[in-house]
Amino acid sequence: MKITEYITPLKENIDKAREEGKTVVLVPTMGFLHYGHLAMVEDARKKDENHEEIYIVMSIFVNPLQFGPNEDFNKYPRNLERDSRLAQEAGVDMLFVPSIEEMYPNGKSLTTVNVFTVPDGLCGAFRPGHFQGVATVVSKLFNIVWPDAAYFGQKDYQQFIVIKQMVTDLNLPITLIPYPTVREPDGLAMSSRNSYLSKEQREQAPVLYRALQEGASLIDSGEKRMEVIREKIIQRISFQTDGKIEYVEIRRADDLSPVEIINGTIVIALAVHFGGTRLIDNIIVGV
C-alpha cells in the first residue's frame, strides 16, 4: 500500500493503474477507521484478491466544511498510524491523507456544491451547511480520483442520498455502492464517535437500533400511521436511555421526501445525543 498527502502523486499512481486496465474504486472516510469502513474495502477486494483488476483508493480527511462552529472538528478522533495499518490489512492500494491546505489551498473553498431539497429535514435541519460541506468535498474527491465506483455506508443515509442526487444531476460517470450499516454484536451502529461514549452511555446506546426494529415490526404487522410508529420509538428511547432525542422521522427511502401514510419503501431515521455525543441510525422498511 502506498500513502500520499498530495494530489499530484495520487493522480500519477491512479493513471498508472488505469494504464494497467484496473478499475478504480474510492472509499472516502474521515479516518479513525472501524470495521464499517474496512468492510467496504473488503467487499471490493474480494472480487480481486491479487490486486490485478481493482485499484482501491481510500481517503482520510476530516473535512472542516461539514462541521458547524460548535461541533467536534478539533476533537474528532484521529490516529493515522493505526488507520494506515488497518487499511493495508484490508487491501487498500493507495491511502490519500491530504492536509487542509492541500484540499483548500486558500483556507476555504470559494466554490461550493449545493444539493437542494434532499438535505431538508433530518440531520440537515440541525446541522446547517453540513451537507453543502459534504457535497463539496466529495465532489472534489471525485474530481481528483475520478473513480469508476465509490462506496458509501448506509448509516449516513441522508448523506448517501445527497451524493446520489449530486451524481445524477451532474451526470458524473461514477457507480455509487451503498453498503449496509455494520453493527456491533449488540446492534449499535459502528461509528468513530462511539469512542466518545461513557461506559453507561455505551450500554444504553444499542436501544436506538432496538427502537428502530420495533418501529419496523409495527409496519410489518400492518401499522401505517406514521405518528403511532414515531411515538413508539420515542417512548422506548426516552424510557430506556438518558439520551436526548433530536429527531425521529419517517421518509421515502428513494429521495427522503416526507410521507403521511406509510407505503412503498421507507426509511426510519433518528438522531440522539448522549451527553456531547450525537449518534445517528436508520432502518429501511419495504411495505
Residue 109 has pLDDT above 90, yes or no: no
To the nearest whole number, what is the mean pLDDT of the chain? 96
Question: Do 76 and 191 contact (CB within 8 A), yes or no?
Answer: no
Which is catalytic among the residues 34, 37, 51, 130? 37
273 is catalytic: no
In angstroms, rounded to a whole number, what is the distance separating the alpha carbons of residues 213 and 208? Answer: 9
In angstroms, rounded to a whole number, what is the distance separating the alpha carbons of residues 76 and 285? Answer: 32
Residue 287 has pLDDT above 90, yes or no: no
Q: How far is CA 142 from CA 29, 95, 163, 175, 232, in A?
A: 13, 15, 11, 11, 41
The single residue listed with the C-alpha cell 404487522 is 221
Four-CA torsion 67, 64, 66, 246, nearest 10 degrees:
-20
Would you tell me the crossing angle of helices 226-240 and 207-220 to the nearest 10 degrees? 150
Q: How many CA atoms lie within 13 Å of 138's alpha carbon, on the beta-carbon side?
A: 31
Query: Please, which residues have CB within 8 angstroms of residue 113's CB and are 6 or more apart in sequence?
Result: 132, 135, 136, 139, 166
Confidence of residue 260 (pLDDT cuts 50, 70, 90): confident
Percentage of the chain exceeding pLDDT 90: 94
Section 250-276 average pLDDT: 95
Confidence of residue 230 (pLDDT cuts 50, 70, 90): very high
- Report pLDDT digits (tens) over 65-85: 999 988 999 999 999 999 999
Q: What is the CA radius of gyration of the chain?
A: 19
Which domains does the chain show, CATH number per domain?
2-179 (3.40.50.620), 192-281 (3.30.1300.10)
Confidence of residue 45 (pLDDT cuts 50, 70, 90): very high
Confidence of residue 130 (pLDDT cuts 50, 70, 90): very high
pLDDT at 180: 97
